[in-house]
A and B are shown apart, each in its own frame.
Chain A
Amino acid sequence: MEFKVPTMAEMMAAGEEPEILFWVGCAGSYDERAQKITRDICKILHHVGLKYAVLGTEESCTGDPAKRAGNEFLFQMQAMANIEVLNAYNIKKIVTGCPHCFNTIKNEYPGLGGSYEVIHHTQLIQDLINEGKLKAEGGESFKGKKITYHDPCYLGRANGVYEAPRKALEVLDADLVEMKRCKANGLCCGAGGAQMFKEPEKGKKDVNIERIEEALSTEPQFIAAGCPFCMTMLNDGVKLKDKDQEVKVLDIAEITARANGL
């Protein structure tokens, strides 16, 4: 990367505090495709000059997949260890790159002693657009391009965030098309509830195929996502349908970074 991503440890050593902590998440840290999204979120933060930091190697799984799979012990062990780190750094505000981390830290950490203002990166992008700090200029033009947005369950239904990602797309002056099942009626990509880590039960087809068929029926040039797990599922779907040349699956952060030439 062209700039250095600051860590909390470095900030603390320099006697500084960030305005916001960027919680990267496991997918954003390790998954090659999601790493690109992580870097683009950093580019956006860097571009607007927001004082941010990441935990780096001090970050650990929020415990979300353990909790959805029914292992409350493991979840709480992870949560308490993370809360200890976050509280030690006196963290007030967190932006996550993943709706699952977002949901877990925002809703399930307060009961275990970790209360923070938590936003998803699409909400940060919306805020930056509203404040006039972020536009869609200096980069790739999405004007008139057909984009359909897939609502991640843990951002949409689980937490009622439907407008922020759409707002981030609206500034592109693109041709936004909604799938029939969108917003509160959005169809899951198939990865939630720890499904990401296991083979599906037997059935007629995979959930991501059902979803990608619906997305492709809108004849988009881009499918916008806001979750690294959805990204994997949708990408696999597009490849299986042999459409990966015509249709690109991009995260809202990637689209924003591209539109701003970052």
Chain B
Amino acid sequence: MVSQIIFVILALAGTALFAYNARKVIRNIKLGRAVNRTDKPQERLFTMLKVAFGQTKMAVRPVPFFLHLIVYLGFVIINLEVLEIVIDGVFGTHRVFAGLGGFYNFLIGSFEFLAAGVWLACAIFLIRRNVVKIKRFSGVEMKNWPKSDANYILITEILLMTAFLTMNAADVKLQALGAAHYIEAGSFPVSTWLVNLLPSNVDSLIFIERFCWWFHIVGIFAFLNYLPYSKHFHIMLAFPNTYFSNLKPKGQFTNMDSVTNEVKAMLDPSFVPADVAPGRFGAKDVQDLSRVNLLNAYTCTECGRCTSVCPANITGKLLSPRKIMMDTRDRMEEVGKNIDKYGVEHQDGKSLLDDYITREEIWACTSCNACVEACPVNIDPLEIIVELRRYAVMEESVAPASINAMLGNVENNGAPWKYSPADRFNWTQES
């Protein structure tokens, strides 16, 4: 009975804490500008099912695709087992679904294979990161917390799977010994191999079984609450992120309505502008970005596929699309903490541009969309880069001198080079 109460308290506390932090995340995302991404719900749903649920964009790289698929399936399917664990925890039952008979055996058997697969995949992931040191996982932005974060996630998953399999192994042995409460149920194709490693004493076995049971479920609640602080948040946010992703051609940049009004008024003095909220042109800080940009930042799991295909990054420039996303998230969380501490009006004198992302980075982008194409969850770093450029150019008139010269030429000659418009049709004369 005591353990049931402790379990219920833990479960409620774990869920409540997560809800509390999730609300903060939602508040932070809502710092951004509202943007209409609710059109074409069917196409959006299809995109989500295909890209997030179906993992189609992962398939480009077969090895990580396969390993990640195991972990993903493990996460989704083993959660069915968590349902049983929660019911057992609340009502003090043991393997409450055992009544399903053969199907239950099938389920537990598949969970065991998946758990072993997840264990192995995570071990390989750790080796890829820390021993083989795959280039994609390095870079200036991948030091300190991001590096540890990745390892913590993998180690936690290995520990959870170890606990799950050890718990089952102890259970098998207890079932074989005919211990009270441990009914004969389930099929244990993997944990059977661990049985001989365990003691034969019933009390020790019960201790091991209970310890692993608690470790596993408390671990899951703890992991749930780790998500909002971690890149691992993608396991949830990949779904809304793909749902709200851009459905238009990648080359199409947004036309700014606020600018359209001013340009129309300039061309036609009698034009009455539509009601558009005045604001900053482009983005200096996270509040100037759209909510989708900010959701993108929380969704990023720092896999580095974007950076590994970025022509600027490949050729040694400072720009890394992954860093753009990580900086946006870090700044957003900083602004969020300021709001918690000092209220909404507080200004800390810092901004995304310059304090996090440098001018050198934004001007190195070729807008080639390779990063957008590479992202397995449809994150768009390019849009953020363009918004930062818009701020630099339109609010500050600060750009590389050659860019200013080009803009001057377009304005004066209708071409990016210094040629006369009168000579525009001279190409018919072969030289």
Contact of A59 (CB < 8 Å), options: B282, B363, B424 = B424
Chain A interface size range: 35 or more
B260 touches A76 (CB 8 A): yes
* Alpha-carbon distance between A157 and B372 when the two chains are bound, in angstroms: 9
* Nearest CB in chain B: distance from A80 CB, A: 6
Pick from A7, A60, A73 the residue with the most CB of B within 10 Å: A73
Smallest CB separation, B125 vs chain A (Å): 23
Asked whether, in the complex, the Cβ of A68 is within 8 Å of the Cβ of B367, the reply is: yes
Which residue of B is nearest A194, CB measured?
Answer: B403
Question: Using Cβ atoms and an 8 Å threshold, which residues of chain A touch B267?
Answer: 77, 80
How far is it, in angstroms, between the C-alpha of A191 and the C-alpha of B365 when the chains are bound?
10
Complex contacts, A206 vs chain B, CB 8 Å? 315
Q: Is the CB of B422 within 8 A of A190?
A: no
Contact between B403 and A69 (Cβ–Cβ < 8 Å)?
yes
Chain A nearest CB from B425 CB (Å) reads: 4
Residues of B within 8 A of A193 (CB): 365-368
* Contacting residues, chain A, for B249 (C-beta < 8 A): 103, 106-107, 158-160
Contact string against B for A residues 155-187, beta-carbon threshold 8 Å, 1 for contact and 0 otherwise: 001111000000000000000000001001111
* B151 is an interface residue with CB less than 8 A from chain A: no
Q: Determine how close the nearest CB of chain B comes to the CB of A142; give it in whole angstroms.
A: 23
Chain A residues within 8 Å of B277, by CB: none
Identify which of A76, A195, A204, A210 contacts B255 (C-beta below 8 A): A76
Residues of chain B within 8 A of A124, CB atoms compared: none
B60 CB → nearest A CB, Å:
8
Residue of chain A at shortest CB distance from B393: A70
Residue in B255, B281, B410, B416 whose CB lies within 8 Å of A108:
B255
Closest chain-A Cβ to B422's Cβ sits at a distance in Å of 6
Knowing A160-B249, A187-B311, say if A201 contacts B263 (CB, 8 Å): no
Give the interface segment out of A24-32, A217-225, A246-254. A24-32
- In the assembled complex, the CB of A185 is this many whole angstroms from the nearest CB of chain B, namely 7
State the CA gap A21–B360 with chains docked (Å). 39
Q: How far is the CA of A203 from the CA of B400 in the complex (A)?
A: 17
- B255→A29 contact, CB < 8 A: no
Q: A57-B422, A157-B369, A159-B249 are in contact. Are A72 and B281 (CB under 8 A)?
A: yes
Tell me whether A112 and B319 are in contact (CB under 8 A).
Answer: no
Nearest Cβ on chain B to A115's Cβ, whole angstroms: 13
Residue of B nearest to A4 (CB): B428
Q: What A residues does B367 contact at CB under 8 A?
A: 68, 153, 192-194
Residue A258 is within 8 A (CB to CB) of chain B in the complex: no
Closest Cβ–Cβ distance, residue B359 to chain A (whole Å): 10
Interface residues of A in 226-252 (CB under 8 A from B): none
- Kindly state the separation between the CA atoms of A140 and B343 in the bound complex, as whole angstroms: 73
Q: Which residues 340-398 of B sit at the A interface, judged by CB distance below 8 A? A: 360, 363-370, 372-373, 386, 388-394
Q: Are the CB atoms of B250 and A158 closer together than 8 Å?
A: yes
Closest to A28 in B: B427
A29 touches B415 (CB 8 A): yes
Closest to B255 in A: A111
Tell me the minimal C-beta distance from A229 to chain B in angstroms: 10
Cβ of B101 under 8 Å from chain A: no
- Contact for B415 among A5, A26, A35, A210, CB less than 8 A: A26
**A57-B421, A111-B255, A193-B365 given as contacts; is B370 within 8 A of A66 (CB)?**
no
Q: How long is the Cα–Cα vector from A12 to B99 in the complex, in angstroms?
A: 84
B400 A198 Cβ-Cβ under 8 A: yes
B110 → A minimal CB distance (Å): 35
Residue A129 is within 8 A (CB to CB) of chain B in the complex:
no
B262 at the interface (CB under 8 A from A): yes
Instruction: Give complex CA distance A179, B392 in Å.
Output: 37
Determine the chain A residues whose CB is within 8 A of the CB of B429 once the complex forms: 1
A71:B394 contact, CB within 8 angstroms:
yes
Given A28-B427, A188-B368, A204-B315, decide whether A69 and B399 contact each other with a Cβ distance below 8 A: yes
**The one of B309, B407, B425 that contacts A57, using a Cβ cutoff of 8 Å:** B425
Q: Is A131 an interface residue (CB 8 A)?
A: no
Contacts of B282 in A (CB 8 A): 70
> A170 to chain B: closest CB distance in Å?
24
Best-surrounded residue of B282, B366, B388, B391 (most CB of chain A within 10 A): B366
In angstroms, Cα B362 to Cα A195, docked, is 11
Interface residues of B in 398-431 (CB under 8 A from A): 399-400, 402-403, 405-407, 410-411, 414-417, 419, 421-431
Q: Are A30 and B250 in contact (CB under 8 A)?
A: no
Q: What 1/0 mask marks residues of chain A from 43 to 79 whose CB sits below 8 Å from any chain B CB?
A: 0000000000010110111010111111111101110
Q: How far is the CB of B313 from chain A (nearest CB, A)?
A: 9
* Selected A-B contacts with CB under 8 Å, 15 pairs: A29-B425, A57-B425, A61-B416, A65-B406, A65-B416, A71-B390, A78-B410, A80-B263, A107-B251, A153-B366, A157-B372, A197-B416, A198-B363, A200-B317, A210-B311
Given contacts A29-B426, A30-B419, A196-B416, 19 further A-B contacts (CB under 8 A): A24-B427, A26-B417, A29-B425, A39-B428, A57-B421, A69-B403, A76-B260, A107-B251, A108-B255, A157-B368, A158-B252, A187-B311, A188-B368, A197-B402, A199-B402, A201-B363, A203-B317, A203-B364, A207-B311
Across the A-B interface, the 3 shortest Cβ-Cβ residue pairs: A158-B251, A204-B316, A193-B367
